[in-house]
Amino acid sequence: MRIPLNRNPHPSPGSHRERVARSQHERTEAVMYVNVAVLKETQPHERRVALVPSIVAKLVKLGAKLHMQAGAADAIKLGDAAFNDVEVIANRHELVADADVVLAVQPPSLDVVEAMKSGAILICFVYADNEKALVQLLLEKKITCFAMERIPRISRAQAMDALSSQSALAGYYAVQLGSTHLARILPKVTTAAGAIGPAKVLVMGLGVAGLEALATAHRLGAVVEGYDVRPETAEQALSLGATFVETGVDARGKGGYARELTPEEKTKVDAVLTQHIQKADLIITTAAIPGRPSPKLISKKQVAGMKAGAVIVDLSAEGGGNCEDTKPGETTEVGQVSILAPLNVPSLLGEDASELYAKNVFNLLALMLKDNIVAIDWTDEVLAKTALTHAGKMVEIKPEPAAKPAASHRHSKPAAKAA
């Protein structure tokens, strides 16, 4: 990773003493840096980029020499000239051939990984279960891959948590998208002819996206309700001006995510939710389990009972959707109800999504880029848990040891992870 540059490759003639002195001076001025390459995204409808101008100087200060594929930020209306101190290279294979670190948003194509040098580092979203061929190639090339979706949900890693930063934008966008498909307004408005509104908004799944949707809908004046199978989210919903739909079912799972409900629990939950679903003008669903199909929260029967003109925005379409009538990537009409199932929603806000993602990546790189070299501390929980492959092997996340019982439980309560 250390790459010295000789500032004077053709020294002028001189005495032996002068040549020795000059050589020593040149060695002290040797430049050390880490080659970092930024790819242009090629997947359909992907507008984001892994580097923005505001992060360039920070990476250079860490010891990075930056290279970027030509037109990498065109989708967010940033030309190559906006990136000072970044070398632009048109050919993506040439770009990554000598890179120590390669940055991307989506998994790069196999030909790009094949062009990377053995032992290099790749940082991007991967979702290994969906990228079997890519993972195999990473192992064969002995590439160290840090998968951004594996960032652990701990307080120290919040600044690197790309899933959360992107989900917050998706939650905001869902409300805006849904409101443009409603034939009514969200707030209460009083006119000389009388008052109209407010609309009723139900948000199902109170992770980062759901909470942002609650906050946005509340700011826009809607009457907002929130539902989640994890009871501890009730306090968060109330703090954002929403009411919480109580069902009496606790489905807290590992890693801050909800577990799947049993058939009996589903029946109990459905009975309560149906009443709220049928009264809602706009429903936003956000429940997702990484690497697995999205849980079904709204049945065909419940959709059939919704009011005419109601809208559902399904943010979990990537995993098949939370509604049984959802068709990923499409907007469908079921009776008098509109169901919107957009894909890759953060990319629709490409400028801000890129800004946040680039900051997430920078904060991760800051853990391993020191003194102009890459130094990975495998005792660092964030790095150890984010790594997917290293030295030709899969990096397994070790299960956390069971918590030891406290000396006294008289005044203690079990800790719960927030979404």
User: Using CA atoms in the order 31, 37, 38, 40, what is the torsion angle rounded to 10 degrees?
Assistant: 140
One-letter identity of residue 82: A
Q: Beta-carbon neighbour count of residue 126 at 10 Å? A: 24
Q: How far apart are CA 270 and CA 299, in angstroms?
A: 9
pLDDT, tens digit, for every residue of 227-275?
Answer: 998 888 999 999 999 999 999 888 777 666 667 778 898 889 899 999 9
Angle at 278 between CA 275 and CA 283, to 5 degrees: 110
What pLDDT is attached to residue 31?
53
DSSP assignment letter at 109: P
Q: How far apart are CA 318 and CA 292, in angstroms?
A: 10
Q: Which has the closest alpha carbon to 5: 376, 372, 375?
A: 372
* 3-state SS class at 351: helix
Q: In this structure, are residues 139 and 243 in contact, taking their beta carbons and an 8 Å threshold?
A: no
Q: In this structure, are residues 105 and 355 in contact, taking their beta carbons and an 8 Å threshold?
A: no
What pLDDT is attached to residue 248?
85
pLDDT, tens digit, for every residue of 83-107?
Answer: 999 999 999 999 999 999 999 999 9
Q: In this structure, are residues 297 and 315 in contact, taking their beta carbons and an 8 Å threshold?
A: no
Burial class for 109, CB neighbours closer than 10 Å (0-12, 13-18, 19+) = middle
Which residues face 88 on adjacent strands? 68
Q: In this structure, are residues 311 and 281 in contact, taking their beta carbons and an 8 Å threshold?
A: yes
Residue with the two structure tokens 């920078």: 362
Active site residues: 153, 158, 161, 164, 257
What pLDDT is attached to residue 343?
96
Q: Which tokens is 308 given? A: 């005419």
Q: How far apart are CA 419 and CA 127, in angstroms?
A: 20
- pLDDT tens for the chain, 419 residues long, are 443 333 343 444 555 555 544 544 443 334 579 999 999 999 999 999 999 999 999 999 999 999 999 999 999 999 999 999 999 999 999 999 999 999 999 999 999 999 999 999 999 999 999 999 999 999 999 999 999 999 999 999 999 999 999 999 999 999 999 999 999 999 999 999 999 999 999 999 999 999 999 999 999 999 999 999 888 899 999 999 999 999 988 877 766 666 777 889 888 989 999 999 999 999 999 998 877 899 899 999 999 999 999 999 999 999 999 999 999 999 999 999 999 999 999 999 999 999 999 999 999 999 999 888 999 999 999 999 999 999 999 998 765 554 443 343 333 333 333 34
What pLDDT is attached to residue 14?
55
* 3-state SS class at 184: coil
Q: Which has the closest alpha carbon to 381: 162, 152, 155?
A: 152
Q: In this structure, are residues 285 and 298 in contact, taking their beta carbons and an 8 Å threshold?
A: yes
Q: How far apart are CA 72 and CA 90, in angstroms?
A: 10
Q: In this structure, are residues 408 and 402 in contact, taking their beta carbons and an 8 Å threshold?
A: no
What pLDDT is attached to residue 416?
35
What pLDDT is attached to residue 113?
98
Q: How far apart are CA 53 and CA 80, in angstroms?
A: 10
End-to-end distance of the chain based on CA atoms, in angstroms?
Answer: 38
Q: Are strands 387-390 and 144-147 parallel, antiparallel or unpaired?
A: antiparallel
Q: How far apart are CA 217 and CA 187, in angstroms?
A: 9
Ramachandran sector of residue 45 (left: φ over 0; alpha: ψ -120 to 50; beta: rest):
left
Q: Which tokens is 192 given? A: 């000389």
Domains and CATH numbers, the chain: 31-159+349-392 (3.40.50.720), 167-348 (3.40.50.720)
User: How big, in percent rounded to 5, are the helix, strand and coil portions of the chain?
Assistant: 35, 20, 45
List of residues 6+ apart from 368 with CB closer than 8 A: 374, 375, 376, 377, 383
